[in-house]
Structure 1
Amino acid sequence: MNTIRCKIEQVNAFNEAVYQVILTPEVAFDFDAGQYLCIVMGEQDKRPFSIASAPSQTTIELHIGAAVTESYPMQVVERLQNSDYIDIEAPAGNAQLRHQSERSRLLVAGGTGFSYIKSIVEDQIHRQQHIPTTLYWGCRTEEAMYYQSIAREWHEAHDWLTFVPVVEQANENWDGKTANLLAQIKQDYADLTPYDIYIAGRFDMVGAAREVFREIGVDEAHLYGDAFAFIK
């Protein structure tokens, strides 16, 4: 990975628990959609975040889930809010989009795992790929689905992309599925063998997802998620 100094352009709150960060690197660097970077907090303190922007963009976007009760990510947000520049190390990760593959794609995001998926979808759009793609995004509530608007815009603009929003607690006007994310996928699919699957979210969710996918058939050579490097 390269160490790159970045100008901090914006730190905006999507909601009370998720922040959007926009960085401009002083030196352009190559990365693949679906990779991540590390914010350098100290020589031995480097914290990973998915890159939410596509490689074709000149700025770098991050989504940082940082509720006030979670000191680890809030320390990063506070550093960004109170600095003009930050060092990053990039790129990292092996769960990048296999854009040469012509297999149908299933994208699965839990919470701020959507940042990983956003980079992949925007790269598909940039490449003008029309491979059938279904995006599931699961959150506890609609309010937690912080970038629902852009996902619905993709759904409307691209006939190859289907967006399936899933929340566990819905209000009466909710336009989506009300269920546990993994239970909804298990209900919707009898066999995942034909799919390239890209997944991001909390480690416990990603680990549970792999077990669910195994139950309904999955070709694990086509199951991509950087969390798998850290969980058994």
Structure 2
Amino acid sequence: MSFQVTVQPSGRQFTCEEGETILSAAIRAGVGLPYGCKNGACSSCKGKLIAGNVTHGAHQEKALPVSEETRGFSLFCCATPHSDITIEAREIAGVGEFPVRKMPTRIAKIEKVADDVVILSLQLPANERLQYLAGQYIEFMLRDGKRRSYSMANAPHKDEQISVHIRHMPGGVFTDQVFATLKERDILRFEGPLGSFFLREDSEKPIILLASGTGFAPIKAIIEQMIHNKSDRPMALYWGGRRPQDLYMHALCEEWARSIPHFTYVPVISNAHQEDQWVGRSGFVHQAVMTDFADLSGYQVYACGAPIVVESAQRDFIGSCNLPADEFYADSFTSEADLAE
């Protein structure tokens, strides 16, 4: 049995199979609903159920509080229909531009760039390329059926190999494997491209790029894309970490600041130790942005990293710095603990 989904206000329609989530069906149909984690943690895909009936699978309370669900809100990544439905959602141009593919990949290089961070370079099959937008992610398909998501850290034009940045989460199903047993030439499988976090190239607004930890990965891809496009849009990168070693590509960012016109780089450390001899900005990274930019009404913001950082930036930039709500683009990284199945 299948059900028809109608999206308002666009009127777009697609088919959802029995037991399939609304978001999965939309991705399959190339309909550009906004989304991030795909597992009920980040709320990026939240919209309204106008007509029909759905059941919500497992999700985090903060992503869809009971009070919102009773008012008709729905998390499309974990909602399965039981009838034809009508939903209200903002569609995003470009999300369905490239087909979502399942592909094998060979580990070409494993580079440890910090005690708890490695960069995996992935070699695609001969004569294969993955088309994607700067900022999107892939999902590794694990043998037990679980999946783990990682942003692509290189711009689409540099796709001879795809790189991902992986932080070790002790006890994590995938990251323990990456740090203990994975080796070069091993084969993995992934699906992608996924996600509605990507560079909007139809705007001339200056950009604030906000990253915490390995949230730097998709931000790096966006910067590389802008360099490739010879964009003259002003960019300000704020990268936050607890200790200086968390900024594992600090030298690259400094090089960008020296060589790219209209680019500034502000590293921010929240918990420096005396032995770190840190002399730069301290505190919360999004508050450093607010100190430097009291009025964000004319900007776009791209934020990526820990949920607390992304959520705080969204609340404060919109509430206190006049950022238009529809100019805040984010990818909130969930940990393997958030994904426990």
What's 2:12 paired with? none
**Correspondences of 1:41-190 after superposition (within 5 Å):** 41-42=142-143, 44-57=145-158, 58-67=160-169, 69-77=170-178, 78=180, 80-81=182-183, 84-170=186-272, 173-174=277-278, 176-190=280-294
In structure 2, the gaps of 5 or more residues are 1-99, 334-341
CA root-mean-square deviation: 2.0
- CA deviation string 1:5-51 (max 9, x = no partner): 11110112111111110001112120000000011113631110010
Shift of 1:208: 1.6
Separation in structure 2 between the aligned mates of residue 76 and residue 41 of structure 1, nearest angstrom:
11
Shift of 1:149: 0.8
Shift of 1:4: 0.9
Q: Per residue, is there more helix in 1 or in 2?
A: 1
Bigger drift between 131-140 and 199-208 goes to 199-208
What's 2:103 paired with? 4
Higher relative contact order (CA 8 A, sep 6+): 1
What's 2:35 paired with? none
One-letter code of the match for 1:49?
Answer: Y
**Contact 1:80–1:86 under 8 Å retained in 2:** no
Tell me: CA distance 1:53–1:194, structure 2 relative to 1, closer, same or farther (3 Å): same
Tell me: CA distance 1:56–1:82, structure 2 relative to 1, closer, same or farther (3 Å): closer
What's 1:38 paired with? 139
Bigger drift between 136-145 and 42-51 goes to 42-51
Separation in structure 2 between the aligned mates of residue 54 and residue 7 of structure 1, nearest angstrom:
19
Length-normalised TM-score, structure 2 = 0.63
Separation in structure 1 between the aligned mates of residue 267 and residue 156 of structure 2, nearest angstrom:
25
- CA deviation string 1:79-100 (max 9, x = no partner): 6437621111110011110122
Separation in structure 2 between the aligned mates of residue 162 and residue 72 of structure 1, nearest angstrom:
37
The total of aligned residue pairs comes to 228
**Contact 1:110–1:137 under 8 Å retained in 2:** yes
In structure 1, the gaps of 5 or more residues are none
Q: Percent identity?
A: 29
Separation in structure 1 between the aligned mates of residue 144 and residue 326 of structure 2, nearest angstrom:
35
Q: Give secondary structure in 2 for the equivalent of 1:197.
A: strand
Length-normalised TM-score, structure 1 = 0.91
Larger radius of gyration: 2
